[in-house]
Amino acid sequence: MPIKPDRIGKITSNIGKASILILGDIMLDEYLNGTVSRISPEAPVPVVEVTEDQIRLGGAANVANNIRALGDTPYLMGTIGLDDAAIKLSQLLTSHNISKEFLIDDKDRCTTIKTRIIANNQQVVRADRENREEISAEIEKRILDRFKTVKDEIKAVIISDYGKGVITQSLLAKLIPACLERDIFIAVDPKDTHFFNYKKVSVVTPNHHEAGFVAGRRIRTEHDLDQVGRHLLEKLEAKSILITRGEKGMALFYADGTRDLFPTVAKKVFDVTGAGDTVIASFVSAVCAGADLKEAAIVSNCAAGVVVAEIGTATVTRKRLDEELREHFANGD
């Protein structure tokens, strides 16, 4: 019996009462939607006739948007450039009721933009504008100074590492111990280059490709999965590892080496963009609402099933999450 109906109500009714810090690489996602009816005479590539242009919050900002959609209070911390993209990003944050108080202007960096061209509901190409150099010591100090102003208010920290330079080994070496001292729940959406710097955190949420790569073993079977999960637990000394497995669902490994498997509940999959952001946001939100690790994994699995049915980065509300959980577990099975 994975989650009892009375626990669903208790958890979802408590979601929305926590302040959660999201630290990481902030991005602007741009979508050019259109149709294709011909091939370019200039090169063997499709000509996309753009019918719609959208911008959305991406990266750590999308995690913050997921936290806000669930009703919790996100403190979004990271860098932006002094450019037009930063203005658009700030306007989007305001429209989503996400504070800009903890954004740090960095004159040496541009605001990251990912432009996706989508034709007939299928992504054709992505163009990135970004700076992946690590932040300076000055910017790192400003981030840590901002963290100190909220450390007594937050219940959890989400580290959203997209490898764009905000999350550094030096920053983690200072931030993680400060969180552990205050018993702040630490969740990490990892980048392989920093993977083994996330020591002693509460949960790390790699997908199966990332987990297999850093463990040096491709995950083809459940035996491979067990070996990778336990190896990562031992290396990281983490409380848990949540490996997302695409159409196979998720696997949650606990500190004692045991694990639980959660089959996907997605009815249809259109786009997995941003699904990892939803997983980590809903997992942390559930923990802050009193869920144990297993219950939090069930909650995040349901949340992921909702967003992959949408095109582009999407979110799930507390009400929708409650409905999904009750649909799948109304009888406690």
- Return the beta strands (E) in 180-328 as ranges: 185-189, 203-204, 240-244, 250-254, 259-262
Query: Which range, of 79-88, 115-124, 245-254, 265-274, averages the lowest pLDDT?
Result: 265-274
How many whole angstroms separate alpha carbon 122 and alpha carbon 16? 34
pLDDT at residue 210 in the model: 93
Domains annotated on the chain, with CATH: 5-39+46-329 (3.40.1190.20)
The active-site residue, picked from 277, 292, 322, 333, is: 277
Rounded to 5°, the CA angle 207-11-263 comes to: 35
CB 98 within 8 A of CB 76: yes
The torsion of the CA quartet 109, 92, 59, 20, rounded to 10 degrees, works out to 110
Instruction: Read off the pLDDT of each residue in 255-274 and give the average, rounded to a whole number.
Output: 76
Q: Which of 122-136, 190-204, 262-276, 303-317 has the lowest mean pLDDT?
A: 262-276
Calpha distance 96→110 (Å, rounded): 22
Residue 165 has a pLDDT of: 94
Residue 305 pLDDT class (50, 70, 90 cuts): confident
> Quick one: average pLDDT of 58-75?
96
Rounded Cα distance, 254 and 236, in Å: 12
Report whether pLDDT(253) > 90. Answer: yes
- The angle formed by the CA atoms of residues 18, 22 and 26, to the nearest 5 degrees, is 145
What is the structure's pLDDT at 4? 81
Would the pLDDT of 271 be above 70?
no
**What is the rounded average pLDDT of the residues 255-281?**
79
Which tops the pLDDT comparison, 159 or 249? 159
Q: Give me the chain's average pLDDT, please.
A: 92
Strand partners, 34: 50, 119
> Is 192:224 a contact under the CB 8 Å cutoff?
no
Can you name the residues that pair with 260 across neighbouring β-strands?
252
Cβ contact 3:325 at 8 Å: yes
Q: Is 72 a catalytic residue?
A: no
Task: Please tell me the predicted confidence (pLDDT) of residue 1.
Answer: 46
How confident is residue 273, by pLDDT bands cut at 50, 70 and 90?
low
